[in-house]
């Protein structure tokens, strides 16, 4: 069976060398030496000043919201993984959905202003598939209306606009280090803050709100990651350039093999250094997508409908929140992400393409 993704694992010998050190010093969590080392290396990799590693990408968004003291409405995208909306709801705020662009699938920045009310406190946008939102437009709107900007950059590890990493935009960017991501710590995530004081607050929020044994400052939770997770991150980070290069090679085979077909892929900006995190295809109709999907599954190839459903249609949302987002709903009904991972063989790619071609009509 060929799954839509496959977790990249470093050599066991390399990971084992870290485990031996963990066993020797007996320090397995609570901001240990490998967490400090990974934090330092991520700062260097992204060329940033502030980053906090947390236990997953969803809690990263929740803590981001909490650290900024947000209450009220957050403008967000309906086209993302459900964690983006759930984090807003979990923190007791109201999501306000703004439809997406037809070519990038990111939030349509030209429609944001019309959604702003006296209760709007922030914009939470996702860099879908690692492709950037309209950062400059969102920055302009946020300044005009004094709104905070959080970017869900779960898909954007290693992505640059020009020479600047995508995580270095907005007030806060959040990352997922889940095993399905190209960089992972098995489970994990991170929070990148522009402001040093906010980053320090994030640290408190993820560590029960206290420093040392008895200095309690903030109402916090436990969102720490372990040394075993950080060790995996250190192993993966040492190979990240090769991982991205291999994913690029695989993606280019798809690009060439699928050219000329009646399908749509996201528009890539010219100054973008991409990470090749996904390979989404938008079919002309829902029926065509399902026909292709069923044919692939029949051949033991497991694509995935990243991202379905459109989040504005989630069944547990209040009726007043369920605003129509026709572009997002249409894309969500017609999208299919096909397998992309290090180790995917060319012959399997060509088999996937052949099945797609045969079922387009």
| Model confidence pLDDT, tens digit, residues 326-341 | 999 999 999 999 999 9
User: Residue 272 has what pLDDT?
Assistant: 96
Given this model, what pLDDT does residue 215 score? 83
Q: Is 69 helix (H, G, I), strand (E, B) or coil?
A: coil
| pLDDT value, residue 30 | 92
Alpha-carbon gap, residue 61 to 93, rounded angstroms: 13
What is the pLDDT at residue 319? 87
pLDDT of amino acid 121: 98
Residues of the chain with confidence (pLDDT) below 70: none
Note the CATH architecture for domain 240-358: Alpha-Beta Complex (3.90)
Report the C-alpha gap between 222 and 162 in whole angstroms. Answer: 36
Burial class of residue 55, CB neighbours in 10 A (0-12, 13-18, 19+): buried
CA distance 254 to 259: 8
Residue 282: closest CA among 160, 57, 100: 100
- For residues 296 and 211, what is the distance between their CA atoms, to the nearest angstrom? 53
Structure tokens at 355: 């099945």
So where are the chain's domains? 2-237, 240-358
The predicted structure's pLDDT at residue 279:
98
From the list 129, 176, 180, the residue with the least C-alpha distance to 282 is 129
Predicted local distance difference test score (pLDDT) of residue 241: 98
| 243/83 Cα distance (integer angstroms) | 26
Q: Is the pTM of this model over 0.95?
A: yes
Pairing of strands 280-283, 335-337: antiparallel
The CATH class for the domain spanning 2-237 reads: alpha beta
How far apart CA 273 and CA 268 sit, in angstroms, is: 9
Name the one residue in this structure whose structure tokens are 């000329």.
260
Judge contact between 186 and 229, C-beta under 8 A.
yes
Q: What are the backbone angles phi and psi of residue 191, rounded to the nearest 5°?
A: -125, 120
Tokens, residue 178: 């889940």
CA distance 113 to 111: 6
Q: Output the pLDDT for position 213.
A: 75
Q: Which pLDDT value is given to residue 217?
A: 87
CA gap 75, 162 in Å, rounded: 27
Decide if 2-237 and 240-358 have a common fold.
Answer: no
């Amino acid at each position: 069976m060929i799954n839509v993704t496959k977790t990249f694992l470093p050599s066991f010998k390399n990971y084992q060398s870290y485990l031996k050190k963990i066993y020797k010093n007996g320090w397995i969590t609570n901001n240990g030496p490998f967490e400090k080392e990974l934090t330092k290396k991520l700062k260097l990799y992204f060329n940033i000043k502030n980053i906090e590693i947390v236990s997953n990408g969803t809690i990263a968004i929740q803590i981001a919201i909490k650290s900024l003291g947000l209450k009220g409405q957050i403008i967000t995208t309906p086209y993302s993984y459900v964690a983006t909306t759930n984090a807003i709801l979990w923190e007791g705020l109201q999501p306000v959905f703004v439809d997406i662009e037809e070519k990038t699938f990111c939030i349509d920045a030209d429609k944001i202003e019309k959604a702003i009310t006296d209760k709007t406190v922030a914009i939470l946008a996702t860099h879908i598939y690692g492709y950037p939102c309209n950062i400059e437009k969102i920055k302009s709107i946020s300044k005009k209306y004094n709104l905070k900007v959080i970017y869900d950059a779960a898909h954007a590890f290693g992505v640059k606009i020009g020479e600047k990493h995508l995580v270095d935009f907005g007030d806060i960017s959040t990352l997922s280090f889940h095993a399905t991501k190209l960089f992972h710590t098995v489970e994990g995530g991170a929070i990148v803050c522009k402001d040093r004081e906010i980053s320090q607050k994030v640290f408190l929020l993820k560590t029960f709100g206290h420093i040392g044994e008895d200095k309690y400052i903030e109402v916090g939770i436990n969102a720490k990651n372990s040394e075993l997770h950080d060790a995996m991150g250190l192993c993966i980070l040492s190979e990240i350039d090769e991982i991205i290069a291999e994913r690029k090679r695989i993606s280019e085979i798809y690009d060439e093999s699928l050219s000329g077909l009646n399908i749509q892929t996201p528009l890539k900006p010219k100054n973008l250094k991409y990470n090749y995190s996904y390979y989404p295809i938008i079919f002309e109709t829902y029926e065509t997508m399902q026909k292709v999907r069923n044919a692939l599954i029949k051949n033991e190839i497991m694509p995935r409908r990243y991202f379905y459903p459109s989040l504005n249609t989630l069944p547990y949302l209040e009726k007043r929140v369920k605003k129509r987002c026709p572009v997002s709903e249409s894309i969500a009904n017609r999208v299919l992400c096909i397998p992309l991972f290090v180790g995917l063989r060319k012959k399997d790619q060509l088999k996937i393409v052949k099945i797609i071609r045969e079922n387009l009509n």
